[in-house]
Structure 1
């Protein structure tokens, strides 16, 4: 005797998910801006604070391995953050914006096809990064000025992290798709769990907790790779099984160059912006390395906090990208601009507050990783915070407007602002270290001035240029 089939259940669930997705899109383009932005950003910010805690924990575990490990982490850290910034911010933001614009224009089929294109792009870029770091990583760390042991520590980390970065790329691409539908809680929950798992796994594999082997620097890298792999499976499953409200029937047949172009046109410019930000940090790392291992360790802790501000800003920026993208898709450019300024001023206030606190009390951060006996490293870290942290608000403002510009599909001025930042940082540092006796203080003063320039350029561009030609 045949059993009764619950056939209507699956269509009903799909209809409910599609209805929820449509309701979220309406909120993005109709609901009051500040409360809606706060509601969307809150889970992201919470998840990003936990992700920042993961970065703090990683630095702490490295400090337990010794100053050489901490200096090695400083060498590889810009490349690690480049991976995160590209996959979640530059390309991830472009994915989210493309999906949001499609849904804002009521083109659900296009949003589903863009999702498939996003997965292909993520896997391809992960492969490129793995190959490049595998071939050139050690030479790059030597070029930065690391000593033999420091380069070995950085290489041990890189040779685990970058072959495994496909997990990070696919996880972040999938979470970006979900954010593009207006759903922020699920991606935030996944990132929160990934960050907690990463802390436990990194510490366990680096230091040999319980039955786990003590793998040192390689273990530090293995933790986030495994954690993102679990997160990626959860995020992809959420999308494929219809929970995001997207139907994939015929999506492969609809794939075209235009779909990839929709993501990569914005993503390429956003990636240039991200690369310029990372290159600026790399150049400063190379200059600081000339002052010795202790100075590199102290600066590395300062630069790490600067990078950790990026996930916090991303918490607000991801919500802005979706809101701006949906409003641009619906033709509501004035509302999109109001969203951009509301979120960006909030990001500047949060990050600027952290900066001012640490400018006055730098040991609140440095004391987590360095013993009082590490006087040279402490002095370098204190110098960084006193010269750079007061300008964090401009960094927060500029980066938040960068995320908003992704939603609008207008990335030229964010790239120009990053070029200005890089020029001021490099030229200023070379002038101040060559023609004055400031030494490290000169490098850090140039970094602070560069943040000021970065924030001002992009703010003026958005204020006076608007997004009158933003892509629908």
Structure 2
């Protein structure tokens, strides 16, 4: 009983937030203090997708298909945000581990500049060619008509997406995951309130339909960014941007691009694979695509908390390498992996037993529910392996070794998963089932490869 009370006190300390030295604090305690707010942050991030799909599902399968296709393209923007976020965590955590807070602030300013420029470039191109992008993804003309404005609003608002990702990455690297968590709470809380109001309206206000979902998401994320900037600029935290940091440094930006290019590469490789699979699924009809979209929203909801736990390993690796404690960094990774595998095994059991009930929350069509529940049952069979692999990948990223996960993604996801999915779905006529089998197999194989390479230890020698 005493130990349980101590655990609850530790959880409350994690949520409340307090600056800690994660290069000397006990590893188990460090994992909990970092992971709890990171998990809650990731839950809030995934709720964006869940809330949107819950309300948009009431608008019909065309609206659902639009969201699914737009989301698959949006993963490219997520890839840029995640890539810079990885660089933020790796570089900031290393400087914090070295006790060089001034340089950490300078790096964070350069991160914001770099992310903003990239976001504006992507936003202009994606917004102008939104219709062509949806058509390229296989959207039927009526789906494009329904969802063109939705896609344009989402693409135009990508600055908030990228800044939210990268600043939260910096907060996590500094050992301040509670600030990242709160930013997502604010962003998602606004989205939950605004979604039904802007989609369906209230009183004499008729609402904007599908466009309202896009506005709700964009406004919510923007509020989260405002909260982040306030805490970066108020000078009260270990990670802060001061006047002396407000100088553009091309050498630092070059280092950021070097580290983040690998991060972008690994997520772009992952995203490109997902886009191909979504395009392949679209060949089997709107109901199949809608079921696939629902399944992946549910899967993302379960994976992001696990990514939150894995992110704790990234911070511990970065800070402890900065403090010249490589063995402590490795021990933190193995212990986090153990916790993550147990968590993923539990999720697998839930999806196998209750996948159909979970799918029915988001759809009424029996055909859509059938596809979604089948996807949940098959894809999550590889979750236990995936739980191990997620921690290994985040450990590489925390060390600044973004090249290794990129190469793994290219080989496993492009050279194996895509051909295998096409062969099973089309050649063997398994249709969507073949795609689900390919995902389960390849993500398990991906995890085993990551585990083997992590054991080689070359990540300990990376300089950022």
TM-score by length of 2: 0.90
Match of 2:12 in 1: none
What is the alpha-carbon distance in structure 2 between the residues aligned to residue 328 and residue 242 of structure 1?
26
Match of 2:430 in 1: 438
Q: What are the superposed Cα offsets for residues 97-129 of structure 1, whole Å, 9 maximum, x if unpaired?
A: 211111212222211110110110111121122
Matching residue within 118, 121, 133 for 2:114: 121
Alignment of 1:309-458 (within 5 A): 309-371=302-364, 374-419=365-410, 420-458=412-450
- Report the count of equivalent residues: 446
- CA root-mean-square deviation: 2.1
Decide which moves more: 191-200 or 212-221: 212-221
Match of 1:98 in 2: 91
Change in Cα spacing, 1:283 to 1:104, as seen in structure 2 (3 Å) is: same
Alpha-carbon distance, 1:421 to partner: 2.4
Alpha-carbon distance, 1:247 to partner: 5.6
Shift >4 Å, 4+ stretches: 210-213
Instruction: Answer yes or no: is 1:224 the counterpart of 2:227.
Output: no
Q: Is the 8 A contact 1:178 1:239 kept in 2?
A: no
Alpha-carbon distance, 1:78 to partner: 1.8
Match of 1:14 in 2: none
Matching residue within 261, 274, 279 for 1:281: 274
What is the alpha-carbon distance in structure 2 between the residues aligned to residue 423 and residue 348 of structure 1?
26
Structure 2 gaps, min length 5: 1-16
Match of 2:188 in 1: 195
What is the alpha-carbon distance in structure 2 between the residues aligned to residue 390 and residue 357 of structure 1?
11
Q: What are the superposed Cα offsets for residues 295-342 of structure 1, whole Å, 9 maximum, x if unpaired?
A: 111111112223334432332233322221111111211211222222
Change in Cα spacing, 1:402 to 1:154, as seen in structure 2 (3 Å) is: farther
Change in Cα spacing, 1:174 to 1:429, as seen in structure 2 (3 Å) is: closer
Q: What are the superposed Cα offsets for residues 111-161 of structure 1, whole Å, 9 maximum, x if unpaired?
A: 111011011011112112212312333222212222112223342222111
Alpha-carbon distance, 1:173 to partner: 2.7
Instruction: Answer yes or no: is 1:112 the counterpart of 2:99.
Output: no
Alpha-carbon distance, 1:49 to partner: 2.1
TM-score by length of 1: 0.89
Q: Is the 8 A contact 1:417 1:454 kept in 2?
A: yes
Q: Is the 8 A contact 1:62 1:69 kept in 2?
A: yes
Matching residue within 170, 173, 176 for 1:180: 173
Matching residue within 440, 443, 451 for 1:459: 451
Match of 2:461 in 1: 469
Change in Cα spacing, 1:342 to 1:266, as seen in structure 2 (3 Å) is: farther
